[in-house]
Structures are given as structure tokens and as C-alpha cells.
């Protein structure tokens, strides 16, 4: 069985981190985001098709050097194709029933159980469903008691919402779904393809799950997933190897070969490999990029420092993104394509 993992986005809301790294390779507890997802795949999935566009070479290099326990294929899209277009572009690698997953979601979904229910219902498509309180901010699923989905309602008033469930971005699909998708253009699976399947077949189901579900689309959620996973592991901090820590850590994740000077405080922050934090530095809610330096007596709050950046002594920043280098060629100024319609 194959799993298509959508990992082609630029991750514009996570810049400047994504100026130098593919979004799916951004570390979470010092392990690429996409690796957390691959670890949740059931044994019956023996092939992973990575739908990529931006920084394809970087992703390819990572999977050549790191074994994820599955056959991996880097499927290079010529241009961003959206959820539907990327799925269609991977058609030649599909041999039967398959999964489509988003690389930037960390959740407690049991994919084995979802596949089991999909088979039981003789479904054409089964999508994961997550309950929310603020239904008016999402596309809400009209789902019946037996799990059959009959439609979607975009941002309804609470009193008009057909349910409390939204599309959580994991799909189990039969190969016939590919016949619904045109080749070579940007297509939203959620807006264009799913309504047709509902109308034509009625074999469209939802799989409800609870626990946790986090879409790592923004810096705030990127930091929160670190705090959440550390709480789950019942640890105060997470550290890599070969670090020199002479300051104080609280709810923070530290990479490898990191130096933190005397009397420095690092709280609710993520520090990448080879970073240097000087003496008497305060970091709160920050991400410090790889090979970057925060010099002595600096005070940073809710600030993102890109890779290979240096801050002078006594720098004070609040809610800033620091990037002094050229922007990568072709990197868009705003989000493109179609994010998952939840």
C-alpha cells in the first residue's frame, strides 16, 4: 500500500526558517516534521511517495542519508499542484488503495483503524475528522451517524453547523478517485473532487478521532507542538548532543552543538544546531536558526532568527523575524496553492 505525503509547499507563514529549509524538514524535537508522520504509518504501507516542489534536492538528500523503514520516492512536481493535482501527479506509483497525508500535521490519528473502517464501509473515500469548538472558522462536515458524509458547509453560524467536525487532512482513497482528477493543473481535492465523489457514489465517509491534532502552519503552532510533545513525554526540556549549557532552560528544545552562556535564560524556545547564545541573554518564545548567534546581553521575545544570522550585543527585539540575507530565488511573497480546507 502507498502513502502520498504532500510536502511541496513553501511554508511562507514559517519564514525565515523556510528560506533555508524545506517546511517538512523543519525539526520538531530535533527530528524532521515529516519523520514524525512517517512513524505513524501502519506496516501495510510499504511505499511513501513524497510530493515535493520547493527544495526537492534537500528532501531527496535527507531520505538518501536517513532510512525511514519504507521505500521512499521523491516525486518532483514541475509546479505547485494543490492537494488534488499532487495526488494525480503521483498516479504512476499507485497500485491500489492508498493514503494521502499532509506533512505538516502532527496528530494522534490511528491510520490502521481508519483503513479498517474504510474497508468495512466499502468506501470510495474516507477522511479523518476532528472536533472543534469554533465551527464558524472552518469548513464543517455534514456527517451522518453511520459516518457517511453528505456535504460540507463553509464557516457556518454555530446554530447552523451540521456537526462539530472538520476535515483533518488525512485521506484513505480507492484508485478510482484518480479518474476524477485532471492532469497538470492546480486542483483542490477538498473543493473540486470530494463534492463530485459524494454526488456520484455516496460512498464518502468520515473517521472521527480524538487526542491531539496540530497543523504546523505558523510559528505559534510550531512552538506549541514542541511544548505539547514535551508535556506528553513528561520532560521539561529536550536536548541534542555535544551541547555546552551554562544558562537556564525551561520548556525548550535545544539542537546539537549548541552553546548557551552564563546567566542566560531560554524559555519556551527552540534553538537549532550549532547556534551560539551568549552570556546574560534572555529568550522567550523564540526560534534561533542553525549556525546563528545571539550576542551577550540581548533580550528577545517572540522573535525568529533565520539560519546563519548574527545579532550584536545588547540587541532587544519583540515579535520580530530577522533575515538580512537575500531571499531565495522564486520564493513567493505570500501563500500560494491551496491549503487543506478544514
Selection from 32, 7, 5 nearest residue 93 by Cα: 5
Cα dist. 156→61, 87, 213, 279, 315 in Å? 44, 29, 21, 52, 46
Residues 212 and 296: their CA atoms lie apart, in Å, by: 39
- Asked about 293 being catalytic, the answer comes back as no
**What would the grid cell of residue 117 be?**
473502517
Q: How far apart are CA 24 and CA 18, in angstroms?
A: 9
Q: What share of the chain is helix, strand, coil (3-state, %, to 5)?
A: 25, 30, 45
Query: Please, where are the H alpha helices in 99-218?
Result: 111-120, 194-201
Cell (9 digits) for 198: 459524494
8 A C-beta contact, residue 27 and residue 296:
no
> Residue 77 to residues 6, 49, 56, 186: CA-CA distances in angstroms?
11, 12, 9, 11
Catalytic residue among 155, 196, 199, 250: 155
Instruction: Return the sign of the alpha-carbon dihedral for residues 237, 242, 248, 254.
Output: negative
**Residues annotated catalytic, as ranges:** 155
Amino acid at each position: 500500500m502507498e502513502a502520498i505525503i504532500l510536502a511541496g509547499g513553501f511554508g511562507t507563514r514559517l519564514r525565515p526558517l523556510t528560506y533555508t529549509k524545506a517546511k517538512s524538514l523543519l525539526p520538531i524535537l530535533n527530528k524532521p516534521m515529516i519523520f514524525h508522520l512517517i512513524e505513524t504509518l501502519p506496516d501495510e504501507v510499504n511505499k511513501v511517495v513524497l510530493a515535493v516542489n520547493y527544495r526537492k534536492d534537500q528532501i531527496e538528500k535527507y531520505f538518501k542519508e536517513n532510512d525511514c523503514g519504507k521505500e521512499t520516492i521523491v516525486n518532483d512536481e514541475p509546479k505547485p499542484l494543490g492537494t488534488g493535482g499532487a495526488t494525480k501527479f503521483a498516479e504512476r506509483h499507485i497500485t491500489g488503495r492508498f493514503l494521502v497525508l499532509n506533512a505538516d500535521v502532527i496528530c494522534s490519528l490511528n491510520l490502521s483503524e481508519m483503513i479498517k473502517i474504510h474497508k468495512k464501509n466499502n468506501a470510495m473515500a474516507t477522511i479523518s475528522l476532528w472536533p472543534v469548538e469554533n465551527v464558524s472558522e472552518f469548513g464543517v462536515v455534514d456527517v451522518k451517524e453511520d459516518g457517511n458524509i453528505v456535504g460540507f458547509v463553509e464557516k457556518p453560524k454555530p446554530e447552523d453547523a451540521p456537526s462539530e467536525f472538520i476535515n483533518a487532512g488525512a485521506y484513505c482513497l480507492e484508485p478510482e478517485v484518480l479518474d476524477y482528477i485532471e492532469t497538470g493543473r492546480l486542483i483542490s481535492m477538498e473543493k473540486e473532487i470530494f463534492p463530485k465523489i459524494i454526488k456520484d457514489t455516496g460512498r464518502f465517509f468520515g473517521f472521527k478521532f480524538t487526542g491531539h491534532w496540530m497543523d504546523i502552519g505558523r510559528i505559534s503552532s510550531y512552538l506549541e507542538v514542541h511544548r505539547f510533545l514535551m508535556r506528553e513525554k513528561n520532560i521539561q526540556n529536550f536536548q541534542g548532543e555535544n551541547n555546552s549549557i551554562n544558562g537556564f532552560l525551561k520548556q525548550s528544545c535545544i539542537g546539537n552543538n549548541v552553546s548557551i552562556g552564563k546567566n542566560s535564560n531560554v524559555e519556551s524556545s527552540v534553538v537549532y544546531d550549532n547556534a551560539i547564545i551568549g552570556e546574560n541573554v534572555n529568550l522567550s518564545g523564540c526560534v534561533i536558526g542553525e549556525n546563528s548567534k545571539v550576542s551577550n546581553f540581548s533580550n528577545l521575545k517572540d522573535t525568529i532568527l533565520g539560519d546563519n544570522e548574527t545579532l550584536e550585543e545588547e540587541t532587544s527585539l519583540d515579535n520580530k523575524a530577522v533575515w538580512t540575507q537575500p531571499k531565495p530565488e522564486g520564493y513567493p511573497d505570500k501563500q500560494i496553492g491551496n491549503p487543506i480546507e478544514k
